[in-house]
Amino acid sequence: MSAPEITDLLHEKARRLLQEDASKIEKLIEVQMANLTTRQCPLYEEVLDTQMYGFSREVDFAVRTGLVSEQSGRDIVSMLERNLAVLYEALDRKGKSLS
């Protein structure tokens, strides 16, 4: 295998691993959206925040090592952040409707 082929393989593997980890966080968000558990359960919110922080560090490492482009990494994190914002907005609406 040539050096460019190995580099391409590493880039693809890094993208695939990041996408797999992003999918795990996405599933956590989907479960929470399906149940719309009240925000009085800070543990779930903390788990999501911790997962997001860890994932952003993982993406930062992949970007710094050149395994993924900065734009690609930013796109993955932004997508998850948008979905998380939708979840928090839905929880806020539910909390206000219960008040």
What DSSP designation does 65 have? T
Tell me the average pLDDT of the chain.
86
Rounded distance between C-alpha atoms, residue 24 and residue 54, angstroms: 12
Residue-wise burial string across 31-58, b where 16 or more C-beta atoms lie within 10 A, e elsewhere: ebeeeeeeeeeeebbeebeebbeebbeb
* 57-61 average pLDDT score: 97
**Number of domains observed in the structure of the chain:** 1
Higher pLDDT, 92 or 14: 14
Q: Which residue has the tokens 């914002």?
A: 85
At 91, which CATH number? 1.10.287.750
Quickly state the pLDDT bin for 41 (edges 50, 70, 90). low
Residue closest to 45 by CA, chosen among 95, 96, 97, 98: 95
Domain ranges, residue 49 = 3-98
Q: Which residue has the tokens 């966080």?
A: 25
Lowest mean per-residue pLDDT among 32-36, 53-57, 78-82, 95-99 = 95-99
Q: What is the pLDDT of residue 29?
A: 84
